[in-house]
DNA sequence: TTATAATATTAGAACCATTCTAAATTTAAA
DNA sequence: TTTAAATTTAGAATGGTTCTAATATTATAA
């Protein structure tokens, strides 16, 4: 807990109770949840939790570089607790999002054609290994 | 016009008047318009045009591989008249979407970690050359 | 500590891009 | 020409996200 509080402070984020809960939930989640996934999960345990708080917190975290916003789904935004850029695979069948560890020189560029690059998102769309079998 | 009609037929799309108008509009547009951009532009010239028709047509075109859907903007979907995969740059300041011609071996993969890849989207986010100057 | 200002949280309303619906129209097939 | 199928239309419904105004909490100053 101590370290989580310090981590938020280091990133310039006031460590409120709600923010610590959201942060811990993100860390523990192995998936790439949407804001509503997080809201529903936390609401069950902490009934006072508000939807707006989840949205605000995710916005704050993203701005602070603590998490990453994934705009790879046409319906809703997903969040990734790993802030460093990496590729993703989005399964059209089961809708799961998988991290892809792959070395890619293009994704490391900080400048391209004179444009300043701050973030990169690379997503593969298709059918995942598991769904291919069924 | 003749060739546009044949092109749609070839792709298995019934070439209705509305679809031809949408297709021509996409071809002429140098940008990556949203469904609503297209609807508003066409509504001005053809007041009977319906929003649902634009959405239906874009869906049909995407399924037929005539256009590409870009889910790089968190707010709305953009459409690219070039169906073959290529990188994009999204300017956070002016919100413009630019095509990036870059050779990328990773983006050519049809299989990764056992998953079947059907599409790839790679987007750079940052500040474009023009906005950097201002 | 106490008072005051600034920030965060809450519930629910508002927003808005997209999808759905049912009726009317157009196109294709018999 | 008749009939069936597909397309288009206007507007309502949906649903993820943002906004609002009131309340609660936290930080700062006296």
Q: In this structure, are B32 and B74 located in the same domain?
A: yes
For chain A, say whether B104 makes contact (Cβ under 8 Å).
yes
In this complex, the residue of A72, A118, A126 whose CB is nearest that of residue B115 is A126
As a rounded value in angstroms, the CA-to-C1' distance for B130 and D6 is 47
| pLDDT band for position A121 (cuts 50, 70, 90) | very high
Three-point CA angle A92, A98, A99, nearest 5°: 145
Same structural domain for residues B47 and B107?
Answer: no
Q: Are residues A63 and A94 in the same domain?
A: no
Same domain membership, residue B96 and residue B58: no
CA distances from A69 to A80, A110, B45, B95, B111 (A): 6, 19, 38, 17, 25
Residue that finishes a domain, picked among B55, B79, B103 = B79
Q: Which of B33, B57, B79 is the last residue of a domain?
A: B79
Task: Give the pLDDT score at B109.
Answer: 93
Q: pLDDT at position B134, please?
A: 81
A10 with A64, same domain? Answer: yes
Kindly list the residues from chain A whose CB atom is less than 8 angstroms away from the CB atom of residue B113: 89, 98, 100, 129
B18-68 confidence digits (pLDDT tens): 999 999 999 998 889 999 999 999 999 999 999 999 999 999 999 999 999
Whole domain around residue B69: which residue ranges?
A: 2-79
**What's the domain count of chain B?**
2
* Residues B74-104: tens digit of each pLDDT: 999 999 999 998 999 999 999 999 999 999 9
- Same-domain status, B70 and B110: no
* Residue B74: CATH number of its domain: 1.10.10.10
- Chain B residue numbers with beta carbons less than 8 Å from the beta carbon of A74 are 69, 71, 77
| Pair A49, A9 in one domain | yes
**Residue A33 φ/ψ, nearest 5 degrees:** -70, 160
Query: Within 7 A of a protein CB, which nucleotides of strand C?
Result: 7-13, 17-22, 26-28
B110 and B58, same domain (yes or no):
no
The pair of three-digit structure tokens given for residue B27, joined into one six-digit string:
């071809």
Please tell me whether residues B7 and B46 are part of one structural domain. Answer: yes
A45 touches strand C (CB under 7 A): no
Interchain CB contact of A109 with B (< 8 Å) = yes
The closest CB to that of A122, out of B92, B114, B122, belongs to B122
Q: Are residues A41 and A24 in the same domain?
A: yes
Which positions in chain A touch B121 (Cβ < 8 Å)? 72, 121-123, 125
pLDDT digits (tens, 9 = 90+) for A62-82: 999 999 999 999 999 999 999
Q: Do B96 and B114 lie in a common domain?
A: yes
Residues of A in contact with B124 (CB under 8 A): 109, 112, 115, 117, 119-120
CATH number for the domain harbouring residue A108: 3.30.1490.190
- Examine the fold and report which residue of A79, A100, A120 is the final residue of a domain before the chain moves on: A79
- For residue B79, with 0-12 CB atoms within 10 Å meaning exposed, 13-18 middle and 19 or more buried, which class applies? buried
Domain check: are B15 and B73 in the same one? yes
For position B67, what pLDDT does the model report? 96
């Amino acid at each position: 807990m101590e370290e989580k509080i310090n981590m938020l402070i280091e990133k310039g984020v006031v460590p409120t109770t709600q923010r610590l809960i959201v942060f811990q939930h993100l860390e523990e989640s192995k998936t790439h949840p949407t804001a509503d996934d997080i809201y529903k999960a936390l609401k069950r345990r902490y009934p006072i939790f508000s939807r707006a708080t989840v949205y605000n917190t995710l916005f704050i975290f993203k701005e602070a570089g603590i998490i990453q916003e994934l705009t790879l789904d046409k319906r809703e935004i997903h969040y990734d607790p790993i802030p460093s850029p990496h590729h993703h695979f989005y399964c059209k069948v089961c809708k799961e999002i998988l991290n892809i560890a792959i070395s890619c020189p293009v994704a490391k560029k900080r400048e391209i054609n004179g444009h300043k690059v701050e973030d990169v998102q690379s997503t593969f769309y298709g059918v995942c290994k598991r769904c291919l079998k069924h």
